[in-house]
Amino acid sequence: MSVETQKETLGFQTEVKQLLHLMIHSLYSNKEIFLRELISNASDAADKLRFEALAKPELLEGGAELKIRLSFDKDAKTVTLEDNGIGMNRDEVIAHLGTIAKSGTADFLKNLSGDQKKDSHLIGQFGVGFYSAFIVADQVEVFTRRAGAAASEGVHWSSKGEGEFEVASIDKAERGTRIVLHLKSGEEEFADGWRLRNIVKKYSDHIALPIELPKEQHGEDAPAEVEWETVNRASALWTRPRTEIKDEEYQEFYKHVGHDFENPLSWSHNKVEGKLEYTSLLYVPGRAPFDLYHREAPKGLKLYVQRVFIMDQADQFLPLYLRFIKGVVDSNDLSLNVSREILQSGPVIDSMKSALTKRVLDMLEKLAKDKPDDYKAFWKAFGQVLKEGPAEDFANKEKIAALLRFASTAGEGDEQSVSLADYLSRAKDGQDKIYYLTGESYAQIKNSPHLEVFRKKGIEVLLLTDRIDEWLMSYLTEFDGKQFVDVARGDLDLGKLDSEEDKKAQEEVAKAKEGLIERLKGALGEQVAEVRVSHRLTDSPAILAIGEQDLGLQMRQILEASGQKVPDAKPIFEFNPAHPLIERLDAEPDEDRFTDLSRILFDQAALAAGDSLKDPAAYVQRLNKLLVELSA
Ligand code: ADP
Ligand code: MG
């Protein structure tokens, strides 16, 4: 072995230590995936080299045939994986094999409970990667040299996976990376040609470069030189015809491109010919990655141009609200020296983006139709992100709306399972609106007084309680020609759902109560924009409605939280003339007591709407005063 210089011992970043621990304890029943991860990295390294060599052919150093070699030594109990890809320099080794670069990792790992069963599913959300080598090895050595660097700039990395690692400078004649796993006792089964061959076939058949193993030797006269033999199919999966690709192959390929550990929910593989020529293979992941909401989280597709890898995370091909989609796009129209800047826009990118967007929306529609349970899982993981769609993608608003799922007064508890089509299929005769109510939580609004009249008439109302729902509804004005109506807003007009007699009766009551309306205006003063008779109520005495153009509670809270000044909007006070408390109020001769009672009703209506009181102490005082009088 060559001489080591500049040797140093460094500690793993805390997050790496936590991850290592988590991985070793949660993946023991799935040990063999370490090989998939290492091969996936070797394949990425080959992709990167091929890309860099487009501009600097000298990086190939005469060895343009990229491949991966896998060997083993039964006596030494080692498995060795060697690639002639891009390799790493010393700084890269320290950064990539000593830290985790993903933002939000520390926060995510705070969720670890210490309970191995509970924690083990978190690893799926995180991804596995290089450190999975320690599932089967108690020592891992990496020998690597970056393409283009001098032979003397090789690096030797070594660790027992227990908190620290060593790096030293070595001579390494060939570019690329060799990883030696010293198997733990009990894991010797992996130092076996047959076993390794099977694992490669099972998980890595789709890898586009050849994966070679030593040819099995039989008989006495085995040649002195090792003969290598390719064991995988070694062609880019997406270039093969759909009909020849098995589901398992699609799934394993997803794990490679998606850096995921679990199967995708669905995929769509298409070859487009004609004015534009490209192949796309798009996947819907099965669960949200832990950093879905991080601004810097990786997003976008793997871009190839004529089979040559160009870049990861090409985020120009899909809108932001589909940022969870993983996959590959391979274009024949882009130039090999395309850059992120060039990708920003242009007719080719624009038309690919709009076609790929449609593909994804169609794939989701199909998933919803064919596999409702999988769609439920999808909605749980990514529904909130999809809700950004109507604001971002005007052209596909209707298609996106059809994919949304809501809780509703006719649904099953707080589960978001009702589609707009479901809703409309249950609409009452003469109902030409889609009714909804927004609020902070399902529990808070499921008994809202705003729903009383709807319950009485048997009309379904969608219950929207995600933080962005009110914002979403400001972009979603109609679906299938039916307007959305916020039941807490404006002067509720039930259209044909109210009979002519109903309407006439309402007008008469309003006339009869003009005196009470004036008294209430006097008592509530500046607090209200208007006072009127309500036709939303059956059980409650009063309710606050939001002005037609005013911001709702959710939007106010979002804006206030972001430090913006929100214009003051006064609610409309609506009362239920048939309620005994209102009758009692109407009959109250004492003006002071009338004022107290009206204000209590106003505050109660605010509370029922989920709002907080401006002066809660005053409310309590007024109420207590009444209670004392009652008990006197
Ligand atoms: P990921 O593949 O998701 O980036 P990994 O933990 O699998 O995460 O690998 C970490 C990083 O280490 C890679 O992103 C890459 O930069 C580097 N790396 C790992 N294996 C190799 C290799 N064989 N050749 C070059 N770089 C590698
Ligand atoms: Mg990896």
- Per residue in 58-101, pLDDT tens? 999 878 899 999 999 999 999 999 999 999 999 999 999 999 88
Q: How confident is the model at residue 339 (pLDDT cuts 50, 70, 90)?
A: confident
Which pLDDT value is given to residue 224? 73
Give first-to-last CA distance, the chain, whole Å: 99
Burial of 473 (0-12, 13-18, 19+ CB in 10 A): buried
Could you tell which of 33, 80, 96 is best to mutate to test the pocket of ligand 1, judged by most ligand atoms within 8 Å of the CB? 96
Q: Give CA–CA dist 173/216, Å, rounded.
A: 27
92 CA: nearest ligand 1 atom: 16
Q: Which helix (H) or strand (E) element contains residue 71?
A: strand 68-73
Helix axes 500-512, 514-524, angle to 10 degrees: 60
pTM: 0.87
Strand partners, 5: 169
Which pLDDT value is given to residue 2? 63
Residues 6/93, Cβ–Cβ less than 8 Å: no
Supply the residue whose CA is at minimum distance from atom 12 of ligand 1: 96
Q: Give CA–CA dist 133/38, Å, rounded.
A: 8
48 CA: nearest ligand 1 atom: 25
**Distance from the alpha carbon of residue 230 to the mean position of ligand 2, in angstroms:** 22
Q: Give CA–CA dist 414/289, Å, rounded.
A: 24
Residue 119 has pLDDT above 80, yes or no: no
> How many angstroms separate the Cα of 538 from the Cα of each of 439, 503, 599?
21, 16, 21
Q: Where are the beta strands (DSSP E) in 151-265?
A: 154-159, 164-170, 176-183, 211-214, 228-230
Q: Which amino acid is it at 354?
A: S
Which pLDDT value is given to residue 106? 84
Mark the residues whose beta carbon lies below 5 A from ion ligand 2.
40-41, 129
Q: How confident is the model at residue 102 (pLDDT cuts 50, 70, 90)?
A: confident
Q: Rounded to the nearest 5°, which phi and psi values hold at 280?
A: -130, 145
Q: Give CA–CA dist 315/572, Å, rounded.
A: 46
Q: What angle do CA 430, 434, 435 make, to 5 degrees?
A: 105
Nearest CA to 87 out of 38, 27, 42, 136 is that of: 42
Q: How confident is the model at residue 220 (pLDDT cuts 50, 70, 90)?
A: low
Q: Give CA–CA dist 606/600, Å, rounded.
A: 10
Least confident of 49-58, 89-98, 114-123, 354-363: 114-123
Instruction: Spell out which residues line ligand 1, taking CB within 6 angstroms.
Output: 37, 41-42, 45, 83, 85-88, 96-97, 127, 129-130, 177, 259
Which pLDDT value is given to residue 601? 95
Which pLDDT value is given to residue 1? 54
Which pLDDT value is given to residue 290? 86
Which of the pair, 557 or 220, is modelled with greater confidence? 557
Nearest CA to 36 out of 283, 299, 260, 330 is that of: 260
Residue 34 has pLDDT above 60, yes or no: yes
Say which residues have a Cβ less than 8 Å from residue 236's Cβ, sequence separation at least 6: 208, 304, 307, 330
pLDDT digits (tens, 9 = 90+) for 371-411: 999 999 999 999 999 999 999 999 999 999 999 999 999 98
Residue 222 has pLDDT above 70, yes or no: no
| Calculated CA dihedral for residues 44, 231, 124, 290, nearest 10 degrees | 10
Residue 153 has pLDDT above 80, yes or no: yes
Question: Mind listing the domains of the chain with CATH numbers?
Answer: 5-233 (3.30.565.10), 239-380 (3.30.230.80), 400-495 (3.40.50.11260), 497-631 (1.20.120.790)
Average pLDDT of the chain to the nearest whole number:
92
40 CA: nearest ligand 1 atom: 2
Burial of 613 (0-12, 13-18, 19+ CB in 10 A): middle
Residues 516/465, Cβ–Cβ less than 8 Å: no
Strand partners, 72: 79
Which of 344-348, 408-412, 422-426 reaches the highest mean pLDDT?
422-426
Which pLDDT value is given to residue 227? 93
Sole residue written with tokens 């999808």? 378
Say which residues have a Cβ less than 8 Å from residue 297's Cβ, sequence separation at least 6: 102, 103, 104, 289, 291
pLDDT digits (tens, 9 = 90+) for 577-620: 999 999 999 999 999 999 999 999 999 999 988 888 989 999 99
**DSSP three-state, residue 166:** strand
Could you tell which of 130, 178, 309, 311 is best to mutate to test the pocket of ligand 1, judged by most ligand atoms within 8 Å of the CB? 130
